[in-house]
Amino acid sequence: MKIALVGGTGDMGTGFAVRWAANHEIIIGSRKAEKAEESAALVNKLLASDGKVQGTDNGSAIASADVVVLCVPYEHLVSVTQDLRKFYSSQLVISPVVPMSYNGKFFEFNPPKEGSAALQARALLPEGMRIVSAFHTICAAALQRKDQELETDVFICGDDPDAVSLVSGLGQEIKKLRPLNVGPLAASALVESLTPMLLNVARRNKIRDAGIKIVSER
């Protein structure tokens, strides 16, 4: 499967590349192809023989992909999605994007009028595109350490059962990570809002590389 990481030169994008390259064709995208190529070269050094990653401009990455992961910061979501709209056709889109800010005291959730970043992205994409909201609470630093087991859960929202199943499968390829189905895409705000909460907990309690794990008391 071909997976494009839009704006994938940052920590989250390179983390996904490191984790999925063994089983998939990974394409790191960036506004400038040269930056993506440099990022891909660094990832390939980390991978050694465990797969190979390539880099190109965002549009070319999307056009050649089966799955597109939006690795852009929320403040660029609208402009990037609008600029690249013409490159989408039938790809499955994954949004780990979180609309949040730091107000000087704590991180807060700032949802758009659509209710969540995932719903906003769907409104900007061509009609009929499948989009799944997932991977918001993964620690990017831990994700980049390809041999580290991630004893954490990720929460998935989507309207298409096959798309949700595919994204869950990608989550299961990351060692010890457990994907959990939260419900339809309309529930994305619940999941996205966990990220600023997690950052506040980690910051105030000095917890490094924090994650969330749902446990049963029975």
**In a domain? residue 89:** yes
**In a domain? residue 51:** yes
CATH of the domain at 37: 3.40.50.720
**In a domain? residue 46:** yes
Kindly indicate the confidence band of residue 68, based on its pLDDT and cuts at 50, 70 and 90.
Answer: very high
Do the beta carbons of residue 98 and residue 192 sit within 8 Å?
A: yes
**In a domain? residue 74:** yes
Kindly indicate the confidence band of residue 8, based on its pLDDT and cuts at 50, 70 and 90.
Answer: very high
Q: What integer pLDDT is reported at residue 73 of this predicted model?
A: 97
Q: How far apart are CA 170 and CA 217, in angstroms?
A: 28
Predicted model pTM: 0.96
Range of the domain at 188: 2-205
**In a domain? residue 174:** yes
Percent of the chain past pLDDT 70, that is, above it, reads 100
**In a domain? residue 214:** no
**In a domain? residue 55:** yes
**In a domain? residue 210:** no
Q: How far apart are CA 156 and CA 160, in angstroms?
A: 11
Q: What integer pLDDT is reported at residue 109 of this predicted model?
A: 98
Helix (H) or strand (E) holding 78, with range, is helix 77-84
18, two tokens: 């490191």
Count of domains observed in the chain: 1
